[in-house]
Amino acid sequence: MTQAAPAAYCEAVLDHGGRLRGRVEAGLRVFRGIPYAQAPFGALRFQPPAPQPAWQGVRDALAFAPAAPQLPRVAHAHTPVVGGPDCLALNIWAPTDAGRPLPVMVWVHGGGFFRGAASDPLYDGAAWARSGVVFVSVQYRLGIDGFLQIPGTPDNRGLLDIVAALQWVRRHIGAWNGDAERVTVFGQSAGAGALACLLGMPQAQGLFQRAILQSPSVACQTPVEAAAAREAVAALAGVAPEREALAQAPLPAVLHAVHRLAVDPALRRRMGLGGRQFFPLRPVVDGQVLPASPLVAMQQLWAAQPAQARALQILVGSNADEMRLYHLPTGLWDQATDAHVDAFAEDAELPTALVATYRARVDGGRATPGALLAALQADYYYRAPALGIALLASRCTGGAHRYSFEWPSLQAGGRLGAAHAVELPFVFANLRTPQGLEFTGPSPPPALSQAMHRCWARFAESGDPGWPAFTEREAWTMRFGTDQACTGQPDDALLQLWDAPT
């Protein structure tokens, strides 16, 4: 019987002298489950991230940390919790023989601010390391622990976690030949929304030089909306909407409360959460951690610190058929009525003229209510904010680049199209992962993956993804579809009607 070859280990020495043991995998140095802060439970629950104490000797970094506590995407009344308290960790993939400082890419996963994990195989960083990048994936607090506004506790704890992770990267990434002066943060959906918040947060300045925002979900809660969310979660969990009661509540009870609110728009509306918020928990504009809504905060900070703004470079984009990811599985694509469209328009305070224009133009004026609702929500939640960020960055930063993902997946009976998140397996060059195949189907085009992955890595290396910068005068946009083409013509006329939601 042939014995398996012994694992090859490697080490990294942090700047406090403590060592980490990782593995050599396919010629790459891989370290998993590195704590950047202490477990945020017990006495540290609902507190800012507490630094991980230094240690002496060697600490294993061989296995992923638990995900932040959450429920699976499909959950029922008795579905057990996944994840665990010691979740504030990051993972690193790096080349073994760099010989020079390498650009760093720090990934912030999405998941509606209440689910997701850096350990998902879709986010494996090997392809980035093979492209000459030191890749870091970060976990942060989710759900009530990360984003529920609770009196007597700091707001936006999940955002503070990401800042703490970036501070850790700045201090220690040299142990992997990472260049702390060439850090690109990138994220998708809620991850991109979190990074949009960081772009306007003074405490995050200087921790990264470039940012890639994929389908940024930038809608934040006002304090009034955050209070309504707290009341709703507490009521469903059967506890008082106060710090001690929420801390002592059984974790499954509060996680199931958030899940119920997330999957049931009618329940959200009955409990005082308007339909404008697609998920029940978001960052909150508290005036301290997050001084204003993301685009406003960016504009204010960049105007106040123009030199720092010019040192930033932004790549941002969205997908052509964002909302099909949500509306096809739930049946809303086929079952929506004009009442659904009107209810969303009212909750989002959309101008009557804008809705009328969509009715007249989407699918040549023949759109079903489901298609019309999806078009309005896609532009409101993702496409208009992405365009707004590109415009603002083109005025204030050292450069803005924009893309549109338009490859039509044939999943969901041939109707998924370029839905929300379908670009992820292409960007990560992880087409054969279970989640990747769920998005793309069995025959995704490898050339598209190679092109997108190369452009993202090139942007991290130099700030130039390979196509002209986006400007107000020339709206250069790389369109990743069945073919790739860069166009500088004015964008979709419907998008020009929006003031990007902030």
Surface-to-core class of residue 307, CB atoms within 10 Å of its CB (0-12 exposed, 13-18 middle, 19+ buried): exposed
Q: How many whole angstroms separate alpha carbon 80 and alpha carbon 83?
A: 10
Known catalytic residue: 76? no
Residues 276, 219 contacting (CB under 8 angstroms): yes
CA 277 to chain centre: 16
Go through 273-298 and write b for each residue having 16 or more CB atoms within 10 A of its CB, e for each that does not: bbbbbbbbbbbbbbeebbbbbbbebb
CA 496 to chain centre: 25
Partners of residue 274 on adjacent β-strands: none
Choosing from 131, 137, 172, 322, the catalytic residue is 322
363: three-class secondary structure by DSSP: helix
Surface-to-core class of residue 376, CB atoms within 10 Å of its CB (0-12 exposed, 13-18 middle, 19+ buried): buried
Q: How many whole angstroms separate alpha carbon 353 and alpha carbon 367?
A: 17
Choosing from 131, 137, 189, 217, the catalytic residue is 189
Spatial CB neighbours of 353, under 8 Å, sequence gap ≥ 6: none
Choosing from 394, 420, 453, 461, the catalytic residue is 420
Known catalytic residue: 322? yes
Known catalytic residue: 119? no
Go through 429-461 and write b for each residue having 16 or more CB atoms within 10 A of its CB, e for each that does not: bbbebeebbebbeeebeeebbebbbebbbebbb
* Residue type (1 letter), 68: A
Q: How many whole angstroms separate alpha carbon 422 and alpha carbon 218?
A: 19
Q: How many whole angstroms separate alpha carbon 340 and alpha carbon 321?
A: 18
Q: Running DSSP on this structure, what letter comes out for residue 203?
A: G
Phi, psi angles (nearest 5°) of residue 171? -80, -35
Surface-to-core class of residue 40, CB atoms within 10 Å of its CB (0-12 exposed, 13-18 middle, 19+ buried): buried
Active site residues: 189, 322, 420
